[in-house]
Chain A
């Protein structure tokens, strides 16, 4: 295998991981809403809106490997990250609850899962978007070399 081939494969794997992360979290969020029947709150919906298209966009970017995919994927991931960050601030009570946009319907601060005392759904979302953004930036750096 020649060196460019190796780099190409490594970059492909990097983007593949991004896609895997997006796909895994998409299925995870569908599992929470459709199987465990946790109703998604408004903020959750915004995060899903930024997450779901990533599965398609990143998937297309893999065949053939397209560095331009970052241009479309990164803004979505960042918007998702901002929403998730805001959601976590609400959730942890740093922003008072009365400022939340969802006064009717499902509360954005109702706790559904609480693994090990700190893993919550908004937390998972924030971590997921953070890793995605980091991987996408690394991918772009490597591709522009």
Chain B
């Protein structure tokens, strides 16, 4: 009898936990959906770098950090999802440089944008990340040896990255990340709906559900 009471209580506790979790997540999703309608600027700012067709109906917003390993690991996957559904997805990159000193790399990235080398530079950063972003021994200066691969004028980068306008972009993104409760990177939103449980399959499901909702007539192609 006592075992039954004990076991049932265990189940009830866990059940309550999972119910509360799903209730809380639904509430959050509702809240951000509301934010998305009320205030689209929270997700896409004027300054935000975007990739993809301008008429795409699915906005995939990613809060990222150039020094974040998971962002680097996810980047090719995000590109594959986009390639599988050409013209339908627009990727919006926002900054959430949570790693210590990561705004340094964001500044380089924004400076590279002025040379029209944004995505090339981001790729180079992600690929060389293990050499400069080690957690126990970060060596930001080592990034410079990799940057020429992106075809950058390094002198101009060094000058441009000190522009206060870039620092302001970073501050704005950090404020928006806070408002949207992004505490980890990468933080994804598809048309304002947050990725609730993190994972590649979950991201794919979220994006595909938005594609289905916005392109009812076309098939959804998985990467």
| Chain A contact residues, CB within 8 Å of chain B | 12, 16, 20, 23-24, 27, 30-31, 35-37, 39, 59, 62-63
Contact = CB atoms under 8 A, between A and B. Distances in A.
B2 A31 contact: no
B5 interface: yes
A63 B17 CA distance: 25
Interface of B: 2-3, 5-6, 9-10, 13-14, 16-17, 20-21, 24-25, 181, 183-184
B189 to A, nearest CB: 15
Contact of A39 (B21, B25, B183): B183
A37 B181 contact: yes
Contacts of B17: 27, 30-31
Given A23-B13, A24-B13, A35 B21 contact: yes
Given A23-B13, A31-B20, A59-B6, 4 more contacts: A16-B6, A20-B13, A31-B24, A37-B183
A12 B2 contact: yes
A131 B21 CA distance: 26
A62 B21 CA distance: 29
A39 B98 CA distance: 14
Contacts of B183: 37, 39
A62 B5 CA distance: 11
Contacts of B184: 37
A16 B20 CA distance: 23
Nearest to A30: B17
B41 to A, nearest CB: 24
A16 B5 contact: yes
Contacts of A62: 2, 6
A39 B9 CA distance: 28
Contacts of B25: 35
Given A31-B21, A35-B21, A63 B9 contact: no
B34 to A, nearest CB: 18
A64 to B, nearest CB: 9
Contacts of A12: 2
29 contacts: A12-B2, A16-B5, A16-B6, A16-B9, A20-B13, A23-B9, A23-B10, A23-B13, A24-B13, A27-B13, A27-B14, A27-B16, A27-B17, A30-B17, A31-B17, A31-B20, A31-B21, A35-B20, A35-B21, A35-B24, A35-B25, A36-B24, A37-B181, A37-B183, A37-B184, A62-B2, A62-B6, A63-B2, A63-B6
